[in-house]
Chains A and B, each alone.
Chain A
Amino acid sequence: MLRLEGLSKTYEGGIAALDSCSLEFARAEVVAIIGPSGAGKSTLIRCINRLVEPTAGRVVLDGGDLTAMSHRQLRRARREIAMIFQEFNLVERLTVMENVLSGRLGYVSILQAAFRRFPPHDIDAAFALLDRVGLEGFENSRADQLSGGQRQRVGIARALMQEPKILLVDEPTSALDPKTARTIFELICGLARERGLPALINIHDVGLALMFAERVVGLARGHVVFDGPPAAVDEAVLTRIYGAADWRQTLRREEPEAGAGSARREAAS
């Protein structure tokens, strides 16, 4: 489905954020990408849809080489790659509905976009998604009136609005309090499974990663240093990724809580 071949990125000034990473994502599964700050997690995710231009290597999605595409072709390809951001990145001064509908921008004309005349089936899908992420009735609120958790729910709805083939998620919970973070993370994983979507999730909370992911990729200094199931993550692996520390607390496995989608709990805050 998605294959990364020798993907590298060197920023101006010679900082090698990503050094020849090769990964294969063949199934619809939730992949957690963990690693310390500056390990290249964000760069890896952004190189896939070329928000960051990789300096070397290839990104192959369903047989098409994204790195070889023209701008026009890339825009078509991006329609099928959805992204969820750490800082939510909603257009703050637009309504929730406009933000969700912006997931369809790749499919409508410029005039339709300018006058917000999206086709009726897009409106239907947007309402259904808002209900699903727990924001029914919020469609006319402005994005800057929402709490952090609610904003990320809009971000999720916008991403799924694209009806993507793959979901890229960049630190979805770092800007949230621990409880909201967990709810949002569960929601993302749940939706990805529900829709049979492969999801690549950058996350620095190892506990959450081990709890919800089916596969864990460990990144350190731009290299892939671990790739395997959560069960295989032990103290030695974490030391390889993050360096030496007491990892016993982190590895005390918790059982995932049942019942996702509790938007209202963090809504009031």
Chain B
Amino acid sequence: MTAQAGAARPARPRHWRKPPLIPNPALRWGLIVAVLAYLVWGIGDLEFDLERIARGIPRAFDMLGQMVPPDFARWELLLDGLVESLQMAIVATAAGAVVSIPIGLGAAANVAPAPVYWLSRGYIGLSRTFPEVLIAIFFVKAFGFGAFAGVLTLFIASTGFVGKLLAEEIEAMDPGQVEAVRATGAGPVHVLLFGILPQVMPRFIGLCIYRLDINLRESTILGIVGAGGVGAVLYNSFSRYEYDFSAAILLSIIAVVLVAEWASGVARARIT
């Protein structure tokens, strides 16, 4: 064949196929078949049939029709719930922030001795793995319905969250500054106060504000399992089929969540 482009073409056309992602054909086809089989079985397992969809779609439109216009007539109930959510978020964040400092210090490998480190890491892992709602339902069983179960849930989730990120901050800090303070003859408390905390303080406050935002978000739904806040009002309106009120509550929650997200972003940008 000549090198001149387009001049002479080979008698038989040359073939080209994109090289497959998995070169081994047995493995490739095996995977494709396995994935398809899983999809067929998995979707079947969800009991998702046409009849269900056919019945569901008119019901969805019916529900949507009842949701407009939203009914704000019982705004006092709604406001009470939102205020309780806000209170839960604030208290849980404040308490969580205080407790997360020792946990954060304990979970920082460059500060804590090994047993404390593993204990703190274990606590963080445990508190972060379980979804908030699951912890909440547990506390509701232990302490009855109400805001206390919710506060405790958010408190535990906050200590894990802030503790973990604080520990990462401490691990990433500049060891030179700590050494300099230690070199002046300061004891461990002074090292903590002048060497470690000033370095991580702005980030710590930022983390707390971020967590306040998350806690507010969560506190609006914990009421669904009875742990206080506006979620209880939402759940009741759903179970009484008062969808126009549900729509009002949902819109209020969305508004609060968006404002909180915006305010938290502004506040954090100012600090750092």
Contact = CB atoms under 8 A, between A and B. Distances in A.
Touch test A–B (CB under 8 Å) = yes
B149 to A, nearest CB: 50
Contacts of A98: 18
Tell me which of B1, B6, B13 has the highest count of chain A C-beta atoms within 10 A of its own C-beta: B6
Contact of B16 (A121, A123, A194): A123
Nearest to A94: B18
A116 interface: yes
Contacts of A97: 16, 18
A195 B7 CA distance: 11
Interface string A59-72: 00000000000000
Contacts of B141: none
A251 interface: no
B9 A124 contact: yes
A249 interface: no
A128 interface: yes
Contacts of B14: 120, 123-124, 127
A139 B9 contact: no
A128 B13 contact: no
A121 B18 contact: no
Interface string A153-176: 000000010010000000000000
Contacts of A126: 16
B13 A124 contact: yes
A160 to B, nearest CB: 7
Contact of B5 (A116, A120, A121, A125): A125
B131 interface: no
Interface string B1-33: 101111101100111111100000000000000
B5 A129 contact: yes
A120 B15 CA distance: 7
A140 interface: yes
A46 interface: no
Interface in A94-127: 95, 97-98, 116, 120-121, 123-127
A132 interface: yes
Contacts of A5: none
Size bracket, chain B contacts? 10 to 19
Nearest to A132: B5
Contacts of A116: 17-18
A117 to B, nearest CB: 9
A92 interface: no
A124 B10 contact: yes
Nearest to B8: A128
Interface string B176-197: 0000000000000000000000
Contacts, number: 47
A123 B15 contact: yes
B16 A127 contact: yes
A131 interface: yes
Contacts of B1: 128, 131
A140 to B, nearest CB: 5
Contacts of B3: 128, 131-132
Contacts of A123: 13-16
A140 B17 CA distance: 9
Contacts of A194: 4
A188 to B, nearest CB: 13
Nearest to A136: B3
B5 A160 contact: yes
A191 B1 CA distance: 18
Tell me which of B4, B7, B16, B18 has the highest count of chain A C-beta atoms within 10 A of its own C-beta: B16
Contacts of A95: 18-19
A116 B20 CA distance: 12
A139 B16 contact: yes
Contacts of A131: 1, 3, 5
Nearest to A117: B17
A164 B15 CA distance: 24
A125 B6 contact: yes
Contacts of B6: 125, 128-129, 163
A128 B16 contact: no
A98 B7 CA distance: 22
A132 B4 CA distance: 6
Contacts of A139: 16
A128 B9 contact: yes
A120 to B, nearest CB: 3
Given A121-B13, A123-B16, 5 more contacts: A97-B18, A128-B1, A128-B7, A132-B3, A132-B4
9 contacts: A95-B18, A123-B13, A125-B5, A126-B16, A128-B4, A128-B6, A129-B5, A131-B1, A131-B5
